[in-house]
Amino acid sequence: MSIPRLAVIDYDLGNLHSVCKGLAVVGAEPIVTTDPELLLAADGVVLPGVGAFDSTMQGIWATGLTAAIRGAIAQNKPFLGICMGLQALFGSSEEGREVGLNILPGRVRRFQAEPRLAIPHMGWNQLHLTQPDCPLWQGLSEAPWVYFVHSYYPEPLDPGLVAATVTYGSQVVPVAIARGTLMAVQFHPEKSGATGIQILKNFVQVVSGSRAPFPEAEKP
């Protein structure tokens, strides 16, 4: 089987080195790019990101890749969003004024302030796998630990898209979504040790066709 080629979108704000290193470790060929033709020709697409919503969206607009990103997802090309790469899929965010890609109906929300609750949510926390059959979770424990750095979280209009949640203070919030070959996580798999490497490996296996994608969520 040939090595899967993954287009890693470069908009000057992604944690590209760590993400590409993790993808290479699990057998993929990561290609950092702003070329829409290369993105559409790749076997899969990864949209990483750190920072604020407005600067993320401004960076994505500046690449000229918006149509290619939407086209790749419409063609069911395996897609993995990481951190801001998840938030960008939604229409808007309480953090800023820019419009998101609006691929998934919903909005990005801020954690509510609570006594003795630090914001941002930073460090290790356990996932509750609301979609345990999602390909990203195969080979993991029932409540895997992953690494977070965020003050905002996605709130999709369709709760069936939520693949995992996390509890922080009294709040239980979505931190992963899955719809067919479109998958995205709020945490950083590239910083989550062996668990994160397994998640990246699972995504690469979806790309290579050795594992079936998660079924489409039923329309409400």
Task: Show which residues are catalytic.
Answer: 83, 188, 190
Residue listed under structure tokens 């993995």: 80
With CA atoms as reference, report the closest residue to 217 among 177, 187, 186.
177
Kindly list the distances between the CA atom of residue 85 and the CA atoms of 75, 125, 142, 157, 162, in Å, as whole numbers in the listed order.
Answer: 18, 20, 25, 18, 16
**Who's near 25: CB < 8 A, 6+ residues apart?**
197, 200
Kindly list the distances between the CA atom of residue 12 and the CA atoms of 48, 49, 93, 134, in Å, as whole numbers in the listed order.
Answer: 10, 9, 20, 30
CA dist 80 and 89 (Å) reads 11
